[in-house]
């Protein structure tokens, strides 16, 4: 239960950073979806049962604040999560070599979902060079920055879990 609370706090922190603080931070204007970082972390490092409820809650929050058709982010995050779990059957996702690949592929898939939704909702929507350049920039920026943030989340999670379980062991008289 403490783990789920931690994941929700990380997800909410990333959502708040993306929606309120990003205009004031030195990150590019067309940055990728920061909440996807939490999805990548859960997909790579945590069991399926721990991540699925957090993904649904984060998708619901993003659907509520984004202005997109309701259910889009829940669907995107769900399929990203399943795709990461499937991909990890063939790759070691936690290595520093494959982590940027998994992140870049995930951001590309997320953008494809969003473009497909735009094409369905707006029949005269076209794929311009500007959109292709923006997506390429997002994928490249995510491949460079998201693995560092994922490793930071992993480090904080391990240290926090060690502190919490260390306190629990001391209270129970077990070392």
Are 109 and 92 in contact, with CB atoms under 8 Å apart? no
Domain holding 113, by residue range, is: 2-172
Domain count, the chain: 1
The closest of 63, 66, 50 to 4, measured between CA atoms, is 50
pLDDT (tens digit per residue) in 36-79: 999 999 999 888 888 899 999 999 999 998 888 899 999 999 99
pTM for the structure as a whole = 0.86
């Amino acid at each position: 239960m403490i783990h789920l609370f931690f994941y929700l706090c990380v997800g909410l922190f990333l959502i708040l950073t993306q929606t309120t603080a990003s205009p004031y931070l030195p990150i590019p204007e067309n940055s990728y979806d920061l909440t996807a970082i939490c999805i990548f972390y859960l997909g790579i490092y945590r069991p399926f049962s721990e991540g699925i409820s957090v993904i649904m809650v984060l998708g619901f929050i993003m659907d509520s604040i984004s202005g997109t058709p309701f259910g889009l982010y829940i669907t995107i995050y769900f399929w990203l999560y399943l795709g990461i779990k499937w991909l990890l059957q063939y790759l070691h996702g936690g290595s520093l070599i494959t982590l940027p690949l998994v992140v870049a592929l995930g951001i590309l898939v997320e953008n494809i979902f969003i473009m497909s939704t735009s094409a369905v909702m707006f029949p005269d929507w076209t794929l311009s060079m500007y959109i292709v350049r923006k997506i390429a920039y997002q994928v490249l920026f995510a491949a460079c920055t998201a693995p560092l943030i994922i490793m930071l989340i992993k480090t904080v999670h391990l240290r926090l879990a060690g502190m919490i379980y260390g306190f629990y062991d001391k209270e129970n008289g077990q070392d």
